[in-house]
Structure 1
């Protein structure tokens, strides 16, 4: 299966079959050092990551472009709402770790990993408050960006 993306109301959805176990994908998603290797489209990099896969835990990343873009910005911090290893993790940027409110919420992410034959059906859903927020995320390159990182994740765990 190739990567598929679709719109469902205010949600953007990416679906991809990955020839690896849900446990391998969970590990790549919840181990900060592994997440740094695939969670942003290359040539961008993640220079800082903290993942605490438990309700109330931190989900923090700092993404930097190849020409230093975003270097002066602080990391983006979210809060894990659900962590059900190895099948589902949910986090939001509406909150930071410990359920502290953030200033400018944009989305909630739901990642599911469902065993499927010789691999896993990986689904990433980005929930937005308004159609305008969803459209902004589309225009930011959701399909291309999240599709690229799904490819990078697959390359990492299918080795």
Structure 2
């Protein structure tokens, strides 16, 4: 199942999984703030605030808290919303496409979530595009694949319960 986006190995990171859950449950996990707060960070991190205005130009905001009290705000803007199929956001803008001077992660990105309905559930793809190699390397070193994997497992467990 190929992605519709051309990936650049120097700039992009990708995460793929399959699950028996229907796309509607994965979509709800990503778009309902109360649900997202329960799974979005690999434990022991947690999301203490979340706002999602589900429309192009809408806010996508999470406030993450680490086990030692670290606070990481993530401000973003939704760029594309296709129900049960595609969610695209960036940390380079805030709501209503307002450019931001800086971002909380330390590197600009555009993230795309693609959900494909399969006979047995959902094929899940997350693609994060970075402005430069330094940003991609920094994101990878933060544990991109491990973190997205743990968070995905938490999402699946939550939505199965």
Q: Normalising by structure 2, what TM-score?
A: 0.89
Equivalent residue of 1:149, what SS?
helix
Say which SS state the counterpart of residue 70 (structure 2) adopts: coil
What stretches of structure 1 move > 6 A for 4+ residues in a row? none
Matched with 1:145 is: 147
CA deviation after TM superposition for structure 1 residue 129, in Å = 0.7
Task: Say what the alpha-carbon RMSD is for the aligned residues.
Answer: 1.5
How far apart are 1:157 and its partner, in Å? 1.9
Structure 1: state its 5+ residue gaps. 1-5
Deviations 1:7-65 (A, max 9, x none): 73311000000111111111110000000011111111100000111100000000001
CA deviations on 1:60-114 (whole Å, 9 max, x unpaired) are 00000112112xx5x3210000000010000000000111111225111100110
Q: Number of paired residues? A: 151
| Uncovered stretches (5+) of structure 2, i.e. residues with no partner | 1-6
TM-score, length-scaled by structure 1: 0.90
Compute the displacement of 1:117 (Å): 1.7
- Aligned 8 A contact 1:82 1:91 in 2: yes
